[in-house]
Amino acid sequence: MVSSLWDNIFKKDLQTKNITEILRQCYMFSTLTKREVKLVQNIINIRNYQSGETIFKLGEPGVGMYIIAEGCVDIYVDDFTNSKNTESKTQPVFITRLKKGDFFGELALVEESGRRQATAVSSTDAVLLGFFKPNLIEISERSPATGIKIIFRLGEILGRRLKDTSSKITDLKKALEKLRDHKST
């Protein structure tokens, strides 16, 4: 009886240490002090998902981001194709698999009433740390300096993703032009 009591205490402490470490390693929170990480840790939401469970769907309202503490998450978008009966059908198209330490959904922290741009599905049993827009607002009100650090990091992340997307679009346009030139010769 006493042994199980001590096991639970130590497991809880280990879990807290793991969450602290995951937050410290997440780019969004990596510039925060120990005290500031503790503030975030006290606000985040821990959610468990079973393998195959949908975290959110394309088009749903987005309220925040997730950090993968354990497990893997697959990201899908819909591909609209015409079926034989001429009705449009959507087919999920796999984009990427995210693993422990990765984060996703951060655009929802800054959009007024944005919609999810993809579907996220847990590909294994997973534990996710949810950091939502109300959490960011609460931190900004309780500790404006901490809120500013997080918002600057968020801006960096979104800027980097925009640059990567612009670069990919440019590469795709060049490849399309080469295909057109090749067809015309």
Residue 80 phi/psi, 5° resolution?
A: -85, 120
Residue 62 within any structural domain of the chain = yes
Digit-coded pLDDT (tens) for 141-159:
999 999 999 999 999 999 9
The Cα–Cα gap between 79 and 20 comes to 38
The Cα–Cα gap between 23 and 46 comes to 12
Are β-strands 64-70 and 88-98 bridged in parallel, bridged antiparallel, or unpaired? unpaired
Mean pLDDT, the chain, as a whole number? Answer: 86
Owning domain of residue 54: 2-175
Residue 183 within any structural domain of the chain = no
Q: Give the rounded percent of residues in the chain with a pLDDT score beyond 90.
A: 65
pLDDT computed for residue 68 by the predictor: 96
User: Helix, strand or coil for residue 26?
Assistant: coil
CATH number of the domain where residue 76 is located: 2.60.120.10
- The stretch 107-125 carries a mean pLDDT of 92
Residue 132 β-bridge partners: 64
Structure tokens at 100: 């422990």
Residue 102 within any structural domain of the chain = yes
Digit-coded pLDDT (tens) for 117-142:
999 999 999 999 999 999 999 999 99
pLDDT computed for residue 78 by the predictor: 87
Digit-coded pLDDT (tens) for 25-72:
999 999 999 999 999 999 999 999 999 999 999 999 999 999 999 999
The tally of domains found in the chain comes to 1
